[in-house]
Structure 1
């Protein structure tokens, strides 16, 4: 640094260190909801309007929170329990379901775990964003079975009669993401820092019951985690009346992890939301497997 006085060198060095720290915190792309918060909302436009329960993860943010999906099966399982993050559909199906390592996973799917950046799906269909080798994916054995297809920035994975090709582009007609209630529920969960979300879709014409309800997982203070809550109603009156039921259902769903009261629930017009610190991550995967209902059934 020719030309600088000797007394200025420590200050310049400190400034460079600060720039590096700022890049690490904010420049990695997708580390938090402010930089990658739209990915789950965007993917919701690829799913059918008929989806009733959807779950997903911003994997970039989850990895930053401690989720490890590119290591051993033990690391994958331990980090999933620690963070509560939903694995992407391919990892869930093949690494968890068939207990294979990353090399076998890539050989079977044409996908490396770190290539998937965001994932959202329902019981039959899942769409993932990231950066993919189309030839590797479409030449894989899973693609040969008709379950997987890809573009350079999207993966479509489907089981049963669902068509993975239809997942690669936003739907021209009605999609899950075209529901304003679903969209604002997802956005509220993400605005409060959720890296993983579970959303149940209710009756879009409900006057008193929730039209959409969601739980999310976020980083808390220190080593803690946080449970994020978002329920969407038709209007503010219905939202106010529904808070007691929300508290009961959330407490029933995450018993042993956290508890909330009506006073913890903030009403924002027709939306009810909360962010509660928890010692450990809530097991939302168990709620999905048990088909736990967040919205009262229509009677």
Structure 2
């Protein structure tokens, strides 16, 4: 995987464990270690230490004649790390395909099945593109990708792990109980369209605008769109439990575009407002949820202007 290979060839920070070691010395240290504590210190932290050692001795990062030795050392490293309390505890949370663990300000996202490594790679690629090609002013609307690495368990199954910036103090729209009124819904809908417009201008389709993928901070009126594992014009998967949120082009043809995200955002907001949704907003929503994507709006930022023409002026913030 390209994301992992880029990580394994990174230069070691000389202040980190293993930074001044040769490959042979690193292997010897790992083989001799009785616990993972022998390979780290309290200042750097276990998670970062594991990633640094893994980059130094990973089988994919060495020449062919060293591969067997590297494979054994990597298996020992992974076994030592697995023994730590850090990832043996219950997950901090669970997503569609991954379990979530925390490490300070980091959110560690580990797929439950190695078969979903491609979705993790999709997320990493989407976030990298947003940071490279998207307008920097809108970066708070998506989590920052800190790094990507491969974790190997004691059965030598490899999982691609994404490490993201943790979103503290936020909850998902899936946690909202009861119907939202216009005042509450307006700022969420507006910020959701801003996030989608930013992504679309950078050439990224989210592909799964669902309640659990939209985090909000009600007091600060902040919004972050998470779980970019389904991004792209050809989604590799859908969230089966939310299949009725998807438009026909995804369910039938596995294609997606800006109009797909707009459809899903509209369905989401329509369901959140429920019976409290006023007539003018229902008409607005109907124009965003036609079966044919070509009949829907294609520009989220232009659609934001249309939404502002409908909602009361005092709600446009």
- For normalisation by structure 2, the TM-score amounts to 0.23
Structure with bigger strand share is 1
| Largest Rg, 1 or 2 | 2
